Structure 1
Amino acid sequence: GVAVALLAMLVGRTMLSGPAFEARAEDKAAASKMSGDGTNDPRDPLPEGALVAGNGRVEPRGREVRVAANAAGRVAIVHVREGQRVKAGDVLVELETSAEAAALRSARAELDSARAELARTKEGLRPEEVASLEAQADAARARAELAARDADRAKQLLSQGAIAGEEADRAAREAEAADALRRSARAQADAAKSGSRSQDIAAARSRVQAASARAEEVSAQLERLRVLAPYDAEILQVKFRTSEFFDPRNGEPLLVLGDTSQLHVRMDVDERDVGKVRLGAAAFVTAEAFAGKRFRGKVIEIGRQMGRKNVRTDEPTERVDTRVLEVLVELESAKELVPGMRVTSYVEGGAGGMVVAGGR
Structure 2
Amino acid sequence: MRQLAYLFLFAQALIALSAHAEQRWIQGIGYVEPTSEVLRLAFKHPGILGEYKAEIGQSVKAGDTLAIQQNREEQTAVTVAESRLQAAKADLEKVLAGVNPYEIEAKKNAQQVSVLDAEYARRKLDRIEHLRSNKFASEDERDLAETSAKLKQADSRRLAAETRYLTHFVREVDKQVATSQVAVAEAQLQAAKQRLAETYLIAPINGTVLEKILRIGESTVSAGSPEPALLLGDMTKLRVRAEIDENYALSLREGQQAIIFGRGLGEKEIPAHVALVKKIMGKKTVFAKTATERKDIDVIQAFIEPNADMQVPVGLEVNVKIAIN
TM-score computed with the length of structure 2 as normaliser: 0.64
Are 1:295 and 1:334, in contact at CA under 8 Å, matched by a contact in 2?
A: no
Alignment-derived partner of residue 313 in structure 1: 288
Structure 1 CA distance for aligned equivalents of residues 89 and 308 of structure 2 = 60
Alignment-derived partner of residue 81 in structure 1: 55
- For 2:286, what is the secondary structure of its paired residue? coil
Residue of 67, 77, 81 corresponding to 1:103: 77
Matched, 1:258 2:233: yes
Please state how far the C-alpha of 1:281 moved relative to its aligned partner.
2.0
Structure 1 residues 280, 206: closer, same or farther in 2, change over 3 A? closer
Structure 1 residues 206, 314: closer, same or farther in 2, change over 3 A? same
Q: Partner amino acid for 2:312?
A: L
Please state how far the C-alpha of 1:91 moved relative to its aligned partner.
1.5
Structure 2 CA distance for aligned equivalents of residues 211 and 293 of structure 1 = 64
Structure 2 CA distance for aligned equivalents of residues 282 and 347 of structure 1 = 6
Matched, 1:300 2:267: no
Are 1:78 and 1:241, in contact at CA under 8 Å, matched by a contact in 2?
A: no
User: Where do 1:213-228 residues align within 5 Å?
Assistant: 213-228=187-202
- For 1:325, what is the secondary structure of its paired residue? strand
Matched, 1:337 2:294: no
Q: Partner amino acid for 2:255?
A: G
**Root mean square deviation of aligned Cα:** 2.7
TM-score computed with the length of structure 1 as normaliser: 0.58
Structure 1 CA distance for aligned equivalents of residues 286 and 71 of structure 2 = 41
Q: Which runs of 5+ in 2 are unaligned?
A: 1-22, 101-168
- Paired positions, count: 234
Alignment-derived partner of residue 55 in structure 1: 29
Matched, 1:289 2:256: no
Residue of 174, 182, 191 corresponding to 1:208: 182
After TM superposition, the structure 1 stretch with the greater mean CA deviation from structure 2, 266-275 or 292-301, is 266-275
Are 1:262 and 1:331, in contact at CA under 8 Å, matched by a contact in 2?
A: no
Q: Partner amino acid for 2:236?
A: S
Alignment-derived partner of residue 43 in structure 2: 69
- For 2:48, what is the secondary structure of its paired residue? strand
Matched, 1:242 2:211: no
How big is each residue's C-alpha offset from its partner over 1:241-266, in whole Å with a ceiling of 9 and x where there is no partner? Answer: 22111116335312222222221112
- For 1:214, what is the secondary structure of its paired residue? helix
- For 1:268, what is the secondary structure of its paired residue? strand
Structure 1 residues 121, 317: closer, same or farther in 2, change over 3 A? same
Please state how far the C-alpha of 1:329 moved relative to its aligned partner.
0.8
Q: Partner amino acid for 1:58?
A: V
Are 2:51 and 2:216, in contact at CA under 8 Å, matched by a contact in 1?
A: yes
How big is each residue's C-alpha offset from its partner over 1:165-215, in whole Å with a ceiling of 9 and x where there is no partner? Answer: xxxxxxxxxxxxxxxxxxxxxxxxxxxxxxx64355444333222211211
Structure 2 CA distance for aligned equivalents of residues 273 and 205 of structure 1 = 68
Structure 2 CA distance for aligned equivalents of residues 51 and 67 of structure 1 = 38
Q: Which runs of 5+ in 1 are unaligned?
A: 1-48, 127-195, 351-360
Structure 1 residues 287, 81: closer, same or farther in 2, change over 3 A? farther
Q: Partner amino acid for 1:211?
A: A
Percent of aligned pairs with the same amino acid: 27
Structure 1 residues 210, 292: closer, same or farther in 2, change over 3 A? same
Please state how far the C-alpha of 1:125 moved relative to its aligned partner.
8.3
Are 1:59 and 1:340, in contact at CA under 8 Å, matched by a contact in 2?
A: yes
- For 1:62, what is the secondary structure of its paired residue? coil
